[in-house]
């Protein structure tokens, strides 16, 4: 009986030690840091509002992350930290990265969160200004000399809504299954994944075809591919995508061709001339 009691006592002591190791009796005092659009990375980050003593909020998440790491190093033990981000728009010049060392522990978590009842917006995009009239309703903007010069971007947002890259056929939200697509007229039985024949309505003397893309559903919608355009044979009415589609193409398969200036013909469409870093855009009617 005494042996059993002794073993039981040892087991209980081991469990108690394990519990203490997993849950320390005390943790370092929690720290709260602030980030705000009116902040300054030279400040301490420890106050909600700017002060005369340089103790206002940080301006960037990167600076807050550095301070969180510094707090852990100075403390010598896991320290709970909360980073409160005030409302507003934060332009991120590069990806904001958090690694395993930024995770904290169960007893001393590191938390990034919005300030109560406020909405911060983290944006990796670049703002475009200086639009000028081009032709009809189409505006244009010269991006040379800006951060976007030479950058091939594939998304444009206007008033928070994603716009459509100039394309044929035009996107029809009222008829997304049939109205948004062209359909393959014919295929080559020997090369059913490398090119296809288009109907007479599709090609309109496109320029800069080498920058165009074809979005296509091969073989009864079994897959979705977006491929560059290698070439267009206007005499034979054949489009040669760059590479091969996932499945054999069939007559009637749905597709569209995008990123063509000649297809900029409806509100909400845009086109980037990557050779001249020029953006063309037809704003929605509620401009």
**Distance between CA atoms of 138 and 134, rounded to whole angstroms?**
6
Q: pLDDT 10s digit of each residue in the chain, 287 long?
A: 555 555 454 555 455 555 545 554 456 799 999 999 999 999 999 999 988 777 899 999 999 999 999 999 998 899 999 999 999 999 998 999 999 889 899 999 999 999 999 999 999 888 888 778 888 999 999 999 998 999 999 999 998 899 999 999 998 888 877 789 999 999 988 888 999 999 999 977 899 999 999 999 999 888 999 999 999 999 999 999 999 999 999 999 999 999 999 999 999 999 999 999 999 999 998 76
DSSP 42-98: TS-S--SS--TTS---BS-HHHHHHHHHHHHHHHSS---EEEEE-SEEEE-SS----
State the pTM of this model: 0.73
Q: Which residues contact 123 (CB under 8 A, 6 or more apart)?
A: 89, 90, 91, 92
């Amino acid at each position: 009986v005494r042996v059993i009691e002794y073993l039981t006592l040892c087991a209980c002591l081991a469990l108690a030690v394990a519990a203490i190791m997993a849950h320390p009796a005390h943790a370092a005092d929690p720290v709260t840091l602030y980030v705000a659009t009116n902040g300054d990375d030279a400040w301490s980050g420890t106050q909600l509002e700017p002060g005369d003593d340089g103790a206002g909020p940080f301006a960037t998440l990167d600076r807050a992350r550095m301070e969180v790491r510094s707090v852990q190093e100075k403390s010598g033990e896991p320290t709970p930290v909360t980073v409160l981000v005030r409302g507003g728009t934060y332009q991120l010049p590069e990806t904001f990265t958090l690694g395993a060392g930024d995770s904290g522990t169960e007893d001393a978590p590191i938390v990034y969160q919005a300030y109560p009842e406020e909405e911060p917006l983290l944006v990796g995009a670049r703002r475009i200004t200086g639009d000028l009239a081009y032709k009809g309703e189409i505006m244009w903007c010269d991006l040379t000399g800006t951060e976007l010069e030479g950058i091939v971007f594939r998304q444009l947002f206007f008033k928070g809504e994603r716009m459509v890259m100039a394309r044929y056929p035009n996107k029809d939200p009222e008829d997304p299954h049939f109205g948004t697509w062209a359909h393959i007229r014919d295929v080559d039985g020997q090369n059913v994944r490398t090119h296809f024949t288009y109907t007479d309505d599709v090609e309109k003397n496109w320029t800069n075809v080498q920058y165009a893309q074809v979005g296509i559903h091969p073989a009864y919608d079994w897959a979705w591919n977006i491929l560059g355009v290698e070439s267009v044979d206007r005499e034979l009415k054949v489009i040669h995508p760059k590479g091969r589609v996932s499945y054999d193409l069939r007559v009637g398969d749905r597709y569209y061709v995008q990123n063509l200036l000649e297809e900029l013909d409806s509100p909400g469409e845009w086109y980037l001339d990557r050779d001249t870093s020029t953006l063309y855009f037809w704003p929605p009617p509620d401009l």
